[in-house]
């Protein structure tokens, strides 16, 4: 026998805000946005994500494409948490930083693998890089599957960079 679920009373459900109230709430929320802090937090998250990606790749001796998904997620989360963004620029920043984090993760992983194979220190390998060598390494280690994971990371970096506004949060901010 199925038991019925208790119905929410009208007072428990968020009320619909009129357009003037919505505009006021959005104005308050936009005043809380901080693009510079969102960029800084996203850049730190991209760097940390790239480093974790490289360490996991070197330890397992296997490039795990899903690491890109994690980079996109943490970058987007950092941009959203610290930037408190509502505007599209926050998503663009999150997407760009996620892509940079993925590229850096791949590059650091390659440096780690070279260092391990050649018996060199990581920083010795990394410090010997110039733009031409970086380009050659990235081209040599590129796989078409990278595009899929980079695409997912960029999507997540974009999607997770925005504040999530529920009707209840909007109503709470009216007062």
Q: Is residue 17 part of a domain?
A: no
Identify the residue with better confidence: 64 or 161: 161
Q: Does position 120 have pLDDT exceeding 80, yes or no?
A: yes
- End-to-end CA distance of the chain, in Å? 44
- pLDDT confidence band for 14 (50 / 70 / 90): low
Q: Does position 163 have pLDDT exceeding 90, yes or no?
A: no
The CA distance from 8 to 1, in Å, is 22
Q: In angstroms, what CA-CA distances link 125 with 63, 117, 122, 131, 167?
A: 19, 11, 5, 14, 52
Q: Is residue 111 part of a domain?
A: yes
Please name the helix (run of DSSP H) or strand (run of DSSP E) that holds residue 141, with its range, or none. none
Q: Is residue 167 part of a domain?
A: yes
This prediction has a pTM of: 0.81
Q: How many domains does the chain have?
A: 1
Q: Which residue has the tokens 């984090």?
A: 101
Output Rg (C-alpha) for the chain, integer angstroms. 22
Q: Is residue 74 part of a domain?
A: yes
Q: Is residue 10 part of a domain?
A: no
The total number of residues written for the chain in this structure: 175
Q: Is residue 61 part of a domain?
A: yes
Q: Does position 20 have pLDDT exceeding 90, yes or no?
A: no
Identify the residue with better confidence: 23 or 98: 98
Q: Does position 137 have pLDDT exceeding 60, yes or no?
A: yes
Domain with 123, as residue range(s), is: 32-172
Identify the residue with better confidence: 99 or 171: 99
Q: Is residue 26 part of a domain?
A: no
Q: Is residue 92 part of a domain?
A: yes
Structure confidence by residue, pLDDT tens digits, 65-96: 889 999 999 999 999 999 998 899 999 999 99
């Amino acid at each position: 026998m199925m038991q019925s679920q208790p119905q929410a009373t009208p007072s428990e459900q968020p009320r619909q805000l009129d357009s003037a109230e919505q505009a006021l709430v959005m104005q308050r929320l936009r005043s809380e946005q901080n693009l510079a802090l969102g960029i800084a937090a996203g850049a730190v998250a991209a760097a940390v994500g790239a480093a974790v990606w490289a360490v996991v790749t070197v330890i397992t001796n296997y490039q795990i494409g899903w690491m890109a998904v994690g980079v996109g997620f943490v970058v987007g989360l950092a941009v959203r948490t610290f930037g408190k963004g509502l505007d599209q620029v926050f998503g663009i920043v999150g997407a760009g930083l996620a892509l940079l984090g993925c590229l850096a993760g791949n590059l650091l992983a390659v440096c780690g693998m070279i260092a391990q194979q050649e018996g060199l220190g990581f920083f010795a390998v990394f410090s010997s890089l110039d733009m031409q060598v970086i380009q050659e390494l990235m081209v040599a280690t590129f796989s078409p599957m990278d595009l899929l994971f980079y695409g997912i990371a960029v999507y997540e970096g974009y999607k997770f960079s925005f504040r999530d506004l529920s009707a209840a949060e909007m109503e709470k901010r009216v007062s």
